[in-house]
Amino acid sequence: MGVSIITGEVMNIIEDIKAIYRNDPAARNIEFLLYPCFHVMLVHRFLNHPLSRLGVPFIPRLLSQVMRFLTGIELHPGARIGAGFFIDHGMGVVIGETTVIGKNCVLFHNCTLGGTGHVADTRRHPRLGDHVLMGTGATLLGPITVGDGAKIGAETVVINRDVPSNCSVVGAPGKIVRENGVLVDKELPVATYWKKHHGSEDLIVGQQNVSG
């Protein structure tokens, strides 16, 4: 079983390297070795995430903080990241513990995948589908779902709302400006989790269950 996990992570890191060349025209020859996302993903895939899944205390968080110090990327050991993940520039990125990221996603610097501080649940952070792009400074908060192929514009803020597949969302608060290639002007739907927990589409945040 251990061998198959290692083989899987080797395949994932190869896809991460391909993603660097696919997404950054400035990457040449063996320059993937210089990318902070490569350094972070090496440690995350082969040490932090497996140790975290084994329930090892302290060490994964320690290593994660060392990597944050070196790269400016704070990636919690618990986060699940699909193959072909690329963070351009790196600095200022925060990815929370229960975040799930699909395949071939791209983040720019200063992106946040965080909790709202109002949900004490097993899942507090966003779940991204495949081929999602988050522009610089984009902030996604809460256990929201972002569909495949969605683009979150630079400096966009989405809180407690889901993002449908194949659309572009921009602004603060984020609105849909493109859906399946067509320009639109639409509100984002209230997050599924919110409706489940609150039984309502009212987005007024309660005072209970405050957590990080």
Ligand X SMILES: CC(C)(COP(=O)(O)OP(=O)(O)OC[C@H]1O[C@@H](n2cnc3c(N)ncnc32)[C@H](O)[C@@H]1OP(=O)(O)O)[C@@H](O)C(=O)NCCC(=O)NCCS
Q: Which residues contribute to the site for ligand X (CB under 6 A)?
A: 108, 135-136, 151, 153-156, 168, 170-171, 177-178, 183
Of the pair 9, 88, the CB lying nearest ligand X is at: 88
CB of 154 to ligand X, least distance (A): 4
**72: nearest Cα among 97, 35, 105:** 35
CB of 132 to ligand X, least distance (A): 11
Q: Give whichever of 77 and 114 is closer to ligand X, judged by the CB atom.
A: 114
| Token pair in block for residue 146 | 């972002």
- 77 phi and psi, to 5 degrees? -55, -25
Q: Which is nearer to ligand X, 115 or 135 (CB)?
A: 135
Is 87 or 119 the residue whose CB approaches ligand X more closely?
87
Q: Which one-letter DSSP state was computed for residue 188?
A: P
Nearer to ligand X, 119 or 188 (CB): 188
Burial string for 135-153 (b: 16+ CB within 10 Å, else e) reads: bbbbbbbbbbbbbbbbbbb
Cβ of residue 198: shortest distance to ligand X, in angstroms? 29
Write the secondary structure of 68-119 as one string of H (helix), E (strand) and C (coil): HHHHCEEECCCCEECCCCEECCCCCEEECCCCEECCCCEECCCCEEECCCCC
The answer to whether the beta carbons of residues 143 and 191 sit under 8 Å apart is: yes
Q: How far is the CB of 156 from ligand X (least distance, A)?
A: 6
Closest approach, Cβ 66 to ligand X, in A, equals 26
3-state secondary structure of 11: helix
Q: Which residue is nearest to ligand X (CB)?
A: 135
